[in-house]
């Protein structure tokens, strides 16, 4: 009951400033950043199949069952081969539907989309849903391609997935990992900073720590040792038990010691 009351209060607070926020959320061309599509009426049988595959992946992934995840690859690839165009916001009559597992972002973008209603006369309700099955499957394939070290395919499928759910922390971290492993260090740093500075994401400490580790790796690749050290130290403050960050800090300190005149 408390959770529901909190959501209602937050929605009310955001709705009060929704119009102003929506007006500010524009790009250089003056167009709204939020892409609200018309109500989708997809193939229900295909959507049901996609949902079943997405649920099977999620169960296997949460159980850390690598063999089951890999066995699902043909089904996941078949679903994505005929997936509809990416979207995460849609308007159906007087409803704005938001598809993401990130509750903070869902509330904010929902209110922004509703506040940006042109006629201002229709009261728009906001429905918060989980991600579409296509977003979940894109994340699954991204993980598989990363596991295979096929980083080019990983980047491509996760860019599609992030158009379907741009607020998924795990997918963001996986995308940054593949960018870094593909040698696209500058892009990794730029993307990491963009995510870290995006207040709409409402990143968890673990989410921030993962992004900082991806940034730190890219900085190492560019021999920017002080910045890399700062990134890993910041990540450890958020995730103190992470051994990867600890090992990277030891490595950085060894390199810096050798570089001293």
Domain assignment of residue 17, yes or no: no
Domain assignment of residue 217, yes or no: yes
Domain assignment of residue 148, yes or no: no
The domain containing residue 199 runs over which residues?
183-261
Measured in Å, how far apart are the chain's first and last C-alpha atoms?
63
Q: Which residues contact 95 (CB under 8 A, 6 or more apart)?
A: 124, 125, 126, 127
Where residue 222 sits, what CATH number does that domain have? 1.25.40.10
Cα distance between residue 184 and residue 176, in whole Å: 9
Domain assignment of residue 190, yes or no: yes
pLDDT of residue 119: 57
DSSP-based three-state secondary structure for 83: coil
Domain assignment of residue 161, yes or no: no
Kindly report the pTM of this predicted structure.
0.84
Number of compact structural domains in the chain: 1
Domain assignment of residue 248, yes or no: yes
pLDDT of residue 126: 87
Q: What is the tens place of the pLDDT at every residue in 90-108?
A: 998 888 899 998 988 888 8
Domain assignment of residue 256, yes or no: yes
Domain assignment of residue 258, yes or no: yes
Q: What is the tens place of the pLDDT at every residue in 118-142?
A: 555 667 888 888 999 999 999 999 9
């Amino acid at each position: 009951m408390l959770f529901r009351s909190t959501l209602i209060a937050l929605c009310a607070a955001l709705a009060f400033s929704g119009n102003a926020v929506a007006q500010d959320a524009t790009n250089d061309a003056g167009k709204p950043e939020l892409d609200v599509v018309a109500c989708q009426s997809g193939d229900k049988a295909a959507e049901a199949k996609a949902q079943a595959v997405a649920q099977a992946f999620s169960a296997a992934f949460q159980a850390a069952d690598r063999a089951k995840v890999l066995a699902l690859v043909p089904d996941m690839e078949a679903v994505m081969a005929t997936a509809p165009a990416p979207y995460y916001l849609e308007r159906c009559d007087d409803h704005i539907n938001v598809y993401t597992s990130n509750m903070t972002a869902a509330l904010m973008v929902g209110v922004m989309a509703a506040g940006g209603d042109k006629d201002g006369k229709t009261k728009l309700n906001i429905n918060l849903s989980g991600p579409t099955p296509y977003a979940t499957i894109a994340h699954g394939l991204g993980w598989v391609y990363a596991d295979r070290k096929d980083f080019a395919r990983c980047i491509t499928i996760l860019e599609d997935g992030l158009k379907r759910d741009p607020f998924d922390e795990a997918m963001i971290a996986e995308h940054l990992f593949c960018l870094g492993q593909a040698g696209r260090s500058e892009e990794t740093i730029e993307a990491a900073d963009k995510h870290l500075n995006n207040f709409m994401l409402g990143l968890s400490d673990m989410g921030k720590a993962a992004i900082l580790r991806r940034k730190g790796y890219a900085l190492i690749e560019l021999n920017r040792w002080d910045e890399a050290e700062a990134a890993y130290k910041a990540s450890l403050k958020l995730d103190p038990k992470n051994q990867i960050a600890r090992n990277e800090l030891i490595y950085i300190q060894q390199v810096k010691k050798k570089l001293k005149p």
